[in-house]
Amino acid sequence: MLPAIAGSAFHLLALGIGLGSVYVRGRALRGQDIATVLRADMWWGIAAVLWIGSGLARAFGGLEKGAAYYLTSHAFQLKMGLFAAIWALEVLPMITFIRWRSARARGEAPDTSRLALLTRLNDAEIGVLLLIPFVAAAMARGW
């Protein structure tokens, strides 16, 4: 029982950390607050690791209803599709923030010419993320 409890708890904690950090990242992008963008982005990365680790353990590690249940669940497939959409939206922000970090490490000012686009991508990620709990709840109840 303990691994299942831990898997569920980390999965829910990932939601709190993930939703909070991507929201703060968006506000910092609007405020051109680079230091806060990068700090929030670090927590967004931690949430992704928690989601994937606890999610895969729950789906395929025998902690919940078993792999066959999830692999044949349309809600699970939709949830994974939404998660993949977030990753696709995250490609440019991820590359950009890596470049910002190395520019700052060199003592240079990061290139902020794409702030408007990064802010829109961040908004889109929040929109998709807010859909997932609804699909996850449907998945957990056999929709």
Distance of CA 57 to the CA centre of its chain: 17
**Residue 31 or 66 with smaller CB distance to ligand HEM:** 66
Q: Which residue's entry shows tokens 């992704």?
A: 48
Closer of 38 and 126 to ligand HEM (Cβ): 126
- Minimum CB separation of residue 7 from ligand HEM in Å reads 8
Q: Which two tokens stand for residue 20?
A: 């909070």
* Nearest 10 degrees: Cα torsion 44, 47, 49, 52: -120
Q: Does 10 bind ligand HEM (CB under 6 A)?
A: no
Contact 28, 119 (CB under 8 A): no
- Regarding 15 and contact with ligand HEM (CB under 6 A), the answer is yes
16 lies in the site for ligand HEM, by CB under 6 A: no
User: What CA–CA distance (Å, rounded) separates 11 from 54?
Assistant: 6
- Where are the alpha helices (H) located in 61-114, listed in sequence order? 67-71, 74-105
Q: Which of residues 26-85 bind ligand HEM (CB under 6 A)?
A: 51-52, 55-56, 58-59, 64-65, 70, 83
Task: Note whether 136 binds ligand HEM by CB under 6 A.
Answer: yes
Cβ at position 120, least distance to ligand HEM in Å: 20
Nearer to ligand HEM, 23 or 83 (CB): 83
State how far the Cα of 110 lies from the Cα of 32, in Å rounded to an integer: 11
Interface ranges with ligand HEM (CB under 6 A): 11, 15, 51-52, 55-56, 58-59, 64-65, 70, 83, 129, 132-133, 136-137, 139-140
